[in-house]
Structure 1
Amino acid sequence: MKKYILQSIRLTVVLMVLLCVIYPLLVAFAGKLSKGQGDGETVNLNGKVVGYALIGQSFSKPEYFWGRPSAVGYNAAGSAGSNKGPSNPDYLKDINNRIDTLITYHPYLNRSDIPADLVTASGSGLDPDISVQAADIQVKRVAEQRKIDEGKVRELVQRNTTSPLFNLFGPSHVNVLELNIALDKISK
């Protein structure tokens, strides 16, 4: 029995060193080699950090593109979905309110034209991207609000569209924060 206790203690010490010291140091080193040096990919404007590329933000003014709704108020510390199923009456009420808001600001839309990502929150509640279709349906509103040619705004959406890896893995998408920053730049 003494033999097994000593083996267990040795194994515990080895695993503690491996998993509590070496592994975290390797992860921190790998993070320092990434784009944001382990601190996240920041988006800068005039030398000032205005947000993070991988965390959504709330835009509610009609002169900006709107992102995907958040179940957690875009709070990265509380990342979560709403956990409400599609038959939950509160969830359905939220969805219908979002659809009504979209139709109020986009009277040219039919309910069936509204992409799901403009009325449903993502699983994390922090999705920074919208589909190209979700950006396209907002072009007219944004152009009218900013008194900019609709073609310029549409071109801006195209320039800020990111294709999936190798054009295979997932749909194209638009980062809302980066698009709105580009929009502010051409509006001035």
Structure 2
Amino acid sequence: MKNILRPALVLFALLTLLTGVAYPLVVTGAANALFPAQAAGSLILRDGKPVGSELIGQNFADPKHFWGRPSATGPMPYNAAASSGANQGPLNPALTDAVKARIAALRAADPGNTSPVPVDLVTASSSGLDPHISPAAARYQVARVASARRLALASVQALVDQQTEKPLMGFLGEPRVHVLRLNLALEALR
């Protein structure tokens, strides 16, 4: 029994050190050396302090800010620890009711806006954490934000155009607007 148990325990200890200590240290060190911003959480800094992440949206409810996609996380929106989809299909009455309520809230926040509501302002992304909206969703909100801030419509629209990210390599993905970055640029307009 001793002849079998000792090699098994030595192998167990060796593999534990190798896969549980050495490998994670090497991978973490390589990530910090090669991709320091991503390894630190892809943080967005303002005056040297973190204000958010490139990867996780934030909840903006003030009419003076651009609003992102609805979050599917609960009870707190954009909670990365609770990332999951809403699991509501297109025929689910709960999804239909939620979309109708979101459209009503958008219309109430900007009664003069009769444009069609972009779908990404009333439906959550698959993770519930998406920090981006479409340029159409940003343009939909320009009049409300400009009015609430008493800014020229053209200057807010120009800011949206400036903050619109192009598809990767010009053809992969869709144009998008990072809501936190847009709101930070909006704050800088003052």
> TM bucket by the smaller chain?
0.7 to 0.9
Give the secondary-structure state (helix, strand or coil) at the position aligned to 2:37.
coil
Alignment of 1:117-132 (within 5 A): 117-132=120-135
Choose 68-77 or 44-53, whichever is displaced more.
44-53
Residue equivalent to 2:187: 184
Alpha-carbon distance in structure 1 between the residues aligned to 2:100 and 2:30: 44
Residue equivalent to 1:140: 143
Residue equivalent to 2:105: 101
Q: Name the aligned partner's letter for residue 47 of structure 1.
A: G
The Cα of 1:79 is off from its aligned counterpart by 0.8
Alpha-carbon distance in structure 2 between the residues aligned to 1:165 and 1:105: 33
| From 74, 83, 87, the counterpart of 2:87 | 83
Residue equivalent to 2:25: 25
Aligned residue pairs total: 184
Q: Name the aligned partner's letter for residue 131 of structure 1.
A: S
The Cα of 1:116 is off from its aligned counterpart by 1.4
In structure 1, stretches of 5+ residues that fail to align are none
CA spacing shift, 1:17–1:48, aligned 2, 3 Å: closer
CA spacing shift, 1:23–1:163, aligned 2, 3 Å: farther
Residue equivalent to 1:174: 177
Residue equivalent to 1:58: 59
For normalisation by structure 2, the TM-score amounts to 0.84
Choose 60-69 or 158-167, whichever is displaced more.
158-167
Deviations 1:36-74 (A, max 9, x none): 262212122223221112110000111100001001111
Deviations 1:68-113 (A, max 9, x none): 1001111011111111222222221111100111122233224xx2
In structure 2, stretches of 5+ residues that fail to align are none
Residue equivalent to 1:165: 168
Q: Name the aligned partner's letter for residue 92 of structure 1.
A: T
Alpha-carbon distance in structure 1 between the residues aligned to 2:161 and 2:167: 14
Deviations 1:6-38 (A, max 9, x none): 999898777655543443233312321324262
The Cα of 1:146 is off from its aligned counterpart by 0.6
2:93 is aligned with 1:116: no
Provide runs of 4+ in structure 1 moved above 4 Å.
5-18
Give the secondary-structure state (helix, strand or coil) at the position aligned to 2:113.
coil
Q: Name the aligned partner's letter for residue 26 of structure 1.
A: V
| From 138, 149, 152, the counterpart of 1:149 | 152
Give the secondary-structure state (helix, strand or coil) at the position aligned to 2:87.
coil
Q: Name the aligned partner's letter for residue 20 of structure 1.
A: G
CA spacing shift, 1:37–1:68, aligned 2, 3 Å: closer
| RMSD, aligned CA | 2.4
Question: Percent identity among equivalent residues?
Answer: 43
Give the secondary-structure state (helix, strand or coil) at the position aligned to 1:43.
strand
Q: Name the aligned partner's letter for residue 101 of structure 1.
A: A
